[in-house]
Amino acid sequence: DIQMTQSPSTLSASVGDRVSITCRASQSINIWLAWYQQKPGKAPKLLIYKASTLGTGVPSRFSGSGSGTEFTLTISSLQPDDFATYYCQQYNSYRATFGPGTKVEIK
Amino acid sequence: EVQLLESGGGLVQPGRSLRLSCAASGFTFSGYAMTWVRQAPGEGLEWVSTISGSGGSTYYADSVKGRFTISRDTSKSTVYLQMNSLRAEDTALYYCAKDLLTVPDAFDIWGQGTMVTVSS
């Protein structure tokens, strides 16, 4: 199975900061990567798919980049609503795998 | 409105069975693959199983293969997860999710989840 890692595991930032989260795959997954946001007690929400395509209704301050084995989620100007946990997920193989998550906290 | 509503969770003893259901509405059910994802308390997301839009192809995580069976009923717009030989490590919130395509893809719509607790 393809293994996914994320860094950092926790990120402390302030409103207005530009933040980036890195996701790495154990083998090439082309562009078949998605990013999700999850808030406590809520279901995950799709932010990005195909590495860089914005999900429906997702604010433009979110962006994704990368291909192959290394990917990045960037939030250009952190807003109060963005404090949450973020997961990457590969779907290159029909057996999907998620990264362990990155918690974005208020500094 | 596109919606997924899970049901069937509960407290079950180790070794017993449980069947989860996910009722879909607001989209053409047969046009999309459907997936179950679980999240143990305080932990991350774990993909469990996916079924193609036609129902002809199914995929399972190694942790549940041979014990869980995914299926779908187009007439009821419902996807199921039959869980047999349950273990303590299967304790989790089980989410149903809609894939973007008829084959496995990213998950654009999620239900609110149904909790499964495996304990004696």
pLDDT in tens, B28-55: 999 999 999 999 999 999 999 999 999 9
For residue B90, give Cα distances in angstroms to B19, B37, B63.
Answer: 13, 12, 9
* A41-98 confidence digits (pLDDT tens): 999 999 999 999 999 999 999 999 999 999 999 999 999 999 999 999 999 988 999 9
Proportion of chain B above pLDDT 90, given as a percent:
98
Render pLDDT for B51-105 as a digit per residue (tens, 0 to 9): 999 999 999 999 999 999 999 999 999 999 999 999 999 999 999 999 999 999 9
Q: Supply B23's token pair.
A: 């009722």
Task: Answer yes or no: is pLDDT of A25 > 90.
Answer: yes
A101 contacts B45? CB cut-off 8 A: yes
Of A49, A50, A100, the CB nearest to B44: A100
Q: Which residue has the tokens 């997936």?
A: B35
Average confidence (pLDDT) over B18-29: 97
Tell me whether residues B45 and A45 touch, CB distance under 8 A.
Answer: no
**pLDDT at residue number A94:** 87
